[in-house]
Amino acid sequence: MLVKTRAIVFRTHKYGETSLIAELYTEQKGLRKYVINGVRSAKAKTKANLLQGMTLLDVVVYEREDRDLYRIKEIRPAYIYEKIPFDVRRGAIGLFMLEIVRKSIREREPNHPLFNFLYDRFVGLDATPHSIANYHLVFLVEFSTYLGFLPAGRYTANLPVFDLLEGAFTAHPPDHPNYLIDDEVQGFNQLLGIAAPYAHQLQIGRSLRQNLLDRLVRYYQLHLEGMGQVHAHQILREVF
């Protein structure tokens, strides 16, 4: 059966002499792996840059429920990035977002709201004319909604601590080191209830931004079993 769908390239692996296995997150079928023959040959019809991580595609694929590895009939770009390839900061944020997403999504079932959210946020990172300094921080909070551990509650004078392990604001620091307090918790509170396209409106300094990035990565590690180390955020620290 042929299925037409949008897709986000997660990553690729070499397969044989001239082929690739591409891991795509698709709108219609969820997470899938596809064999693309001959793409690494000199006469390849499909350009290799169409299969770089973060690329947004329109594809026509062959689907059979008894397979773990599928084949692609047609590939074309769904959106061509205009700024990300030429802007070091946008590129670093995009790669960070991609690493987080790739390590968080494991289900093969389609999730249309999640796909649309991810697609829109990658396009938004490329297209926004505003500062993208806080874009990835808001993205992490938004993405947690789809993963099932959106932070509960809001900062108040009576709830001045955010417990990363419990995912909630509390009155007192917990008996473990994974919590936010003082400037960190107030900065974190700014990230709640705002969408990434409006992240430029937030007033967060560079040092606090770096601390919040580290703490949000830790938040994901605490709530996603087997997530492991996230490497791209170290590049972000250097870029910003």
Strands 30-36 and 70-79, sheet pairing: parallel
Judgement on whether residues 68 and 89 belong to the same structural domain of the protein: no
**What phi, psi does 32 have (nearest 5°)?**
-140, 155
pTM: 0.93
Domain's final residue, options 79, 113, 133: 79
Centre a 10 Å sphere on the Cβ of residue 175 and count the other Cβ atoms it contains: 6
pLDDT score recorded for residue 14: 83
pLDDT in tens, 69-83: 888 889 999 999 999
Judgement on whether residues 96 and 164 belong to the same structural domain of the protein: yes
Domain's final residue, options 60, 79, 98: 79
pLDDT score recorded for residue 70: 83
Domain count, the chain: 2
For residue 14, what are its two tokens? 């070499």
The b/e string for 105-126 (b: 16+ C-beta within 10 A; e otherwise) is: beeeebbeebbebbbebbebbb
CATH number reported for the structural domain that contains residue 97 in this entry: 1.20.1440.120
For residue 220, what are its two tokens? 């994901």
Domain's final residue, options 58, 79, 100: 79
> Cβ distance 28 to 74 under 8 Å?
no
**What phi, psi does 34 have (nearest 5°)?**
-125, 140
Judgement on whether residues 88 and 139 belong to the same structural domain of the protein: yes
Judgement on whether residues 74 and 91 belong to the same structural domain of the protein: no
Nearest to 163 by CA among 185, 134, 195: 185
Domain of 39 in residue numbering reads as: 2-79
pLDDT score recorded for residue 41: 65
pLDDT in tens, 25-68: 999 999 999 988 766 666 666 666 788 999 999 999 888 776 77
In this prediction, residues 119-128 reach a mean pLDDT of 98
Q: Does 219 have pLDDT greater than 90?
A: yes
Diameter of the chain measured on Cα atoms: 66
Which is more confidently placed, 226 or 118?
Answer: 118
Judgement on whether residues 95 and 198 belong to the same structural domain of the protein: yes
Q: Using CB atoms within 10 Å of the CB of residue 38, give its burial: 0 to 12 exposed, 13 to 18 middle, 19+ buried.
A: middle
Judgement on whether residues 168 and 218 belong to the same structural domain of the protein: yes
pLDDT score recorded for residue 45: 67
pLDDT category at 232 given cuts 50, 70, 90 is: confident
Judgement on whether residues 70 and 131 belong to the same structural domain of the protein: no
Judgement on whether residues 49 and 89 belong to the same structural domain of the protein: no
| 164/137 Cα distance (integer angstroms) | 15
For residue 8, what are its two tokens? 């986000």
